[in-house]
Amino acid sequence: MNRRRCVNAAITVVCALTVLASPALTLQASAAPAAPPAAPAAPAPPAPPKKTLEEVRKEIDGLYRQAATATDAYNLAEEQTKEQSAEIVRLAKMIVAGNEKIDALKAQAGAAARAQYRNGGLPDGAQFVLTDDPQLFLDNAGRLKEGQKATKDLLAEMTRTQAQLTVYAKDAGTNWTKLEANRVKQAAAKKDIEDKIAAAKKLESELAAEERERLLRLEQQEQYRAQTAWVNTGVLDGLSTTATPMGKKAVEFATAQIGKPYVWGAEGPASYDCSGLTQRAWGAAGRPIPRTSQEQWRLLPKVDIKDMRPGDLIVYYKDASHIGMYVGNGAMVHAPRPGRNVTLAGAGSMEILGVVRPE
């Protein structure tokens, strides 16, 4: 018995040693892969070169210029929308009136038909014609002829009115299509304006207070440089300093708005955009003019700059995206851009496209 126990114990120890020494387990233990070495971090991209303040000024100026162009597009679409809405209302009233007229003509025609039915199929007056009395015949023959003409005129009037209604309905449909197209243009222009203004404000907000002050000085210096160069051409020599009575009223209105903020699309009385100011000023003088700077440039009479006088409008930039009113002595009043107020400035402080005269 003791010997058997000793044998069993010996077998157990041998098996254990065999398992521990097994190459398969040794291989299995060593087969676990080691963690790969960490990949080297990608080098950080080089920081973009910092813009100079002058570059920032030009970028901000460009964004506001683009916003001004989009504002003109918005204002034009809004003006056309108002006109088309008014035209649709006018046509709708004419359609209602035309339908009422058709109803009245139908009632009149129905009354004539009922009278003819009562007379055995003969129209009113025919009974008087079919008489043995020669005098009565002669007296009523004219009445019958007049009745026939009235019936013919009635039918012609109904046909004419129905044709007019068809035209009115077609015109109303055309104006509705234009109205919807202009609403789409308005929405696109509004988004463009808001995007450009937001981008410009973001650029300004990233500047330190001292840099913003320097930015304003750079802006003023650029305007002064342009104004000085313009005056040095001798352009003011011989210019009239006298406004007409209407021009004087327009100048008085425009200068009375100095200090009020620029707001795109605004026409007063609390705020203005550039063409809203000039339109209201000349409206106060009794002369209605178009809404946008581009339309004011396109539709108002142009004058040579050497003939300019107070009250005339100076249009700026090649796309006519800005406008101000000349007030004399080389100065003009205008609503500059978002973040600025209506102010006096040098008439030559920006690129001049030309001059128009509302009178």
pLDDT digits (tens, 9 = 90+) for 287-312: 999 999 999 999 999 999 999 999 99
The per-residue pLDDT for range 325-345, each reduced to its tens digit, is 999 999 999 999 999 999 999
Query: How many whole angstroms separate alpha carbon 205 and alpha carbon 215?
Result: 12
Q: Measure CA of the first residue to CA of the last residue in the chain; give whole Å.
A: 137
pLDDT digits (tens, 9 = 90+) for 172-189: 888 888 888 888 888 888
For residue 344, the 8-state DSSP code is: E
pLDDT for the residue 355: 98
Q: Which two tokens stand for residue 85?
A: 């809405």
Contacts of 119 (CB under 8 A, 6+ apart): 126, 127
Mean pLDDT of 218-226: 93
Q: For position 147, what pLDDT does the model report?
A: 60
> Given a cut of 90, is residue 46 above it in pLDDT?
no
Average pLDDT over residues 137-149: 59
Q: What pLDDT shows up at residue 225?
A: 96
109 vs 206, more confident? 206
**Residue bearing tokens 């009043």:** 333
Predicted confidence (pLDDT) at residue 29 exceeds the cutoff of 60: no
The pLDDT of residue 32 is 45
Rounded mean pLDDT of 86-90? Answer: 88
pLDDT at 138: 53
Structure tokens at 116: 């003819």
pLDDT classification of 128: cutoffs 50, 70, 90: low
Look at 172 and 130; give whichever has higher pLDDT.
172
- Residue 56, CA atoms < 13 Å, CB-side half-sphere: 20
Is residue 319 scored above 90 in pLDDT?
yes
- Virtual CA dihedral for 285, 287, 289, 291, nearest 10 degrees? 40
Over residues 247-259, the pLDDT tens digits come to 999 999 999 999 9
**Catalytic residue set:** 274, 322, 334
Mean pLDDT of 207-214: 90
pLDDT band at 170 (very low <50, low <70, confident <90, very high): confident
Q: Residue 269, preceding bond cis, omega within 30 degrees?
A: yes
